[in-house]
C-alpha cells in the first residue's frame, strides 16, 4: 500500500472561503499551495488577456499548473492545497467537457483528508465568473468526484475563520 503524504485539500464551490483559509494557514507557518486557476487569471488579466474566453484551453492549463505545483510540494511536511486535482475533474464534468484521457488518478492515495467548505453568501470577483446557481452545481460536482474516488469528505460549516481553522486542525496529524 502506498504511503499517503500529509497533504490536505481545502475545497468547495466558488466563494466558500478556500483562499481565506489557505492564507490563514500560511500565516500560521504551514506549507500551502494556492489555487492555480486564480493565479493564472490574475496573471493574464495584468497582461490584458481574458484567459476564460477559451474555457477548454483554460481548464487544461489549470490542470497542468496544478500538477506542477503538486510535484513541487514536499512529501515530508504537512501541506494544505487550495483545491486538489479532483477539482479539475469536477470542472470538466460541470462544463460537459471530456475528462482528459491522460489524467490518471489514484483514489485515496494522493491526500490524507479532504475538507469541503460550505459556501458563503455568493458574490462575484475578478476570478469568479459563475452565477450562484452554477457555483452550487460546481460544489455538488466537487463533492461527488471526491466521494467517487473514495475520499472521506469532512464538511466544514460556515463559521468565523478562526473556528473553521481550529475545526480543520482537529483532523490534521
Mean pLDDT of 98-115: 75
40 or 76: which leads in pLDDT: 76
Domains with residue ranges and CATH for the chain:
7-169 (3.40.50.300)
- Pick from 58-72, 96-110, 111-125, 138-152: least confident: 96-110
Candidates 50, 35, 27, 132; CA nearest to 88 is 35
Whether the CB-CB separation of 41 and 147 falls below 8 Å is answered with no
Mean pLDDT of 118-129: 78
pLDDT at 103: 62
CB-based contacts of 35: which residues, under 8 Å, 6+ apart? 18, 19, 22, 82, 83
Mean pLDDT of 138-164: 95
54 or 23: which leads in pLDDT: 23
| 5-43 confidence digits (pLDDT tens) | 899 999 999 989 999 999 999 999 999 999 988 888 787
pLDDT at 1: 57
167 or 39: which leads in pLDDT: 167
Reply yes or no on whether the pLDDT at 111 is more than 90.
Answer: yes
- Pick from 67-81, 98-112, 158-172: least confident: 98-112
Q: Which of the residue ranges 38-52, 105-119, 155-169 has the most confident prediction, judged by mean pLDDT?
A: 155-169
Backbone angles phi, psi at 98, to 5 degrees: -70, 140
Amino acid at each position: 500500500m502506498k504511503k499517503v503524504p500529509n497533504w490536505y485539500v481545502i475545497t468547495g464551490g466558488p466563494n466558500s472561503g478556500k483562499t481565506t483559509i489557505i492564507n490563514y494557514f500560511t500565516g500560521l507557518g504551514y506549507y500551502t499551495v494556492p489555487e492555480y486557476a486564480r493565479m493564472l487569471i490574475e496573471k493574464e488579466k495584468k497582461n490584458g488577456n481574458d484567459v476564460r474566453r477559451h474555457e477548454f484551453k483554460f481548464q487544461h492549463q489549470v490542470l497542468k499548473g496544478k500538477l506542477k505545483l503538486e510535484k513541487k510540494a514536499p512529501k515530508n511536511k504537512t501541506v494544505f492545497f487550495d483545491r486538489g486535482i479532483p477539482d479539475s475533474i469536477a470542472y470538466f464534468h460541470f462544463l460537459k467537457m471530456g475528462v482528459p484521457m491522460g489524467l490518471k488518478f489514484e483514489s485515496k492515495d494522493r491526500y490524507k483528508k479532504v475538507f469541503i467548505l460550505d459556501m458563503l453568501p455568493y458574490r462575484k470577483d475578478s476570478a469568479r465568473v459563475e452565477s450562484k446557481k452554477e457555483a452550487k452545481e460546481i460544489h455538488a460536482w466537487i463533492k461527488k468526484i471526491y466521494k467517487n474516488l473514495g475520499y472521506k469528505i469532512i464538511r466544514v460549516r460556515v463559521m468565523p475563520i478562526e473556528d473553521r481553522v481550529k475545526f480543520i486542525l482537529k483532523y490534521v496529524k
